[in-house]
Amino acid sequence: MKNIVALTIAFCSIIFVTAFAANITPSINNIVLSSSQTSFSFDITLVENNSFAGAEFGVSTSDTGLILKKVDYLDVKNDKILPLTIKDNVSYFGFLDSNDKFSGSIKVATLTFAYTGDNNQTINLSNSKIVRFNGLSVSTSDASSTPFTVKVSRTSSNGVSSSNTNSSNLSGLSVNSSILKFTDISNYSWAEKEIKTLAEKGVIKGISEIEFAPAENIKRADFIVLLVRILGVNSNVIENFSDITADKYYYNEIGIAKTLGLTTGVGDNKFDPEASITRQDMFVLAHRIIKMKSINLEASDERIIKDFTDVTQISDYAKEALSSLVKNGLVKGSDNQLNPLHNATRAETAVFIYRLSEIIKK
């Protein structure tokens, strides 16, 4: 215990030195609050390939009314965390071990902010520091990284945000879009162009600077956010599902989808936002919004899908959507299968969203 105290004191002696350590990214870069929403959260991830003992982060906001209220650590044990402190309007937090035990990608913490104002604001990573131990001495990393900025805005009375939400980042999809070095998509030639194009536009992001994780399933919440934003759907959020709390980044978009009747959830007034979404449910949701937005699609019937070998797996409620989307080239299947009951992957979602964006432009 004495050693940890001593290390903490040593750490605090350098805590206010400005430097940018490793790669630190937020899970979202643009946050749109509903008119009644007073708090919100996002995660931060740190990627450092070399071993280190701890890290410190300094976060500042553009308005004193925008306050960091809580830091919930994720991949860091509670006995390693440092208390949240404020100096010169910068909120500092971090973690520290007695040896260089950390490396790789670490989901550091969920940051919860309170805000009751109406003006557009920003949250900035003001400074950061990586700490390493060499014997009994403390050394700090000079590795540089672009600091992040998270924009915060509030919907107006008609439900339209004062900022452009179509290029917002999504939870689990965050990385600086100016640096695209995904090393895990070379075997996805059928999706590589679409992933890169959408990433360059800021529509979707990787899970780190170099990873897109194309084979991972996309969450139901993240797909709704993508869909609502890229199609520009807006509405006052009258109510939301019981498992969608106001501090979640997807509160507004899922609330819009529910208010407009685009989704009824999974039953019992729940949406199950963190669950994966099946391909057929992804297509049904998209088709409903396409119809609501009066986007012109060529008429079709169910005969167009009858030759797919897994057509019998398509649920009755999804046949109209699949028929229409196949007819208009938004869904093409693979090996003569539509795989309606398979969970949608991030690569498949990117391809679908890209095709949808091309239809919208026509």
Is this structure's pTM higher than 0.75? Answer: no
Strand arrangement, sheet containing 23-26: 23-26, 39-52, 102-114, 67-73
| Residues 109, 106: Cα–Cα separation, whole Å | 9
Strand ranges, E, within the chain: 23-26, 30-33, 39-52, 54-61, 67-73, 81-87, 90-96, 102-114, 121-134, 137-140, 149-154
Q: Which residues are bridge partners to 85 per DSSP?
A: 92
Q: How far is CA 226 from the centre of its chain?
A: 10
Whether the CB-CB separation of 162 and 156 falls below 8 Å is answered with yes
Confidence of residue 145 (pLDDT cuts 50, 70, 90): low
Matching residue, tokens 């990433």: 199
pLDDT at 12: 43
Backbone angles phi, psi at 35, to 5 degrees: -65, -25
Least reliable range by pLDDT among 11-15, 26-30, 149-153, 329-333: 11-15
Tell me: pLDDT of 144 over 80.
no
Other residues' Cβ atoms within 10 Å of the Cβ of residue 201: 14
pLDDT tens figures, 262-278: 888 999 999 999 999 99
Specify whether the CB–CB gap between 73 and 57 falls below 8 A.
no
Residue-level pLDDT at 217 = 95
**101 pLDDT tier (thresholds 50, 70, 90):** confident
Query: Read out DSSP for 106-169?
Result: EEEEEEEEE----S-EEEEEEEEEEEEEETTEEEE-----PPPEEEEEEB-TTS-BSS--TT--
Does residue 361 have a pLDDT over 90? Answer: no
- Lowest mean pLDDT of 14-18, 204-208, 211-215, 252-256, name the range: 14-18
Of 141-145, 308-312, 350-354, the range with the lowest mean pLDDT is 141-145
Burial classification of residue 101, based on how many CB atoms lie within 10 Å of its CB (0-12 exposed, 13-18 middle, 19 or more buried): exposed
In this prediction, residue 346 has a pLDDT band, given cuts at 50, 70 and 90, of very high
Q: Judge whether 82 and 93 are in contact, CB under 8 Å.
A: yes
β-strands 137-140, 23-26: how paired? unpaired
For 284, how many CA atoms within 13 A lie in the half-sphere containing its CB? Answer: 19
Domains plus CATH for the chain?
2-154 (2.60.40.680), 189-361 (no CATH)
**Paired tokens of 86:** 């404020």
Q: Which two tokens stand for residue 359?
A: 């239809």
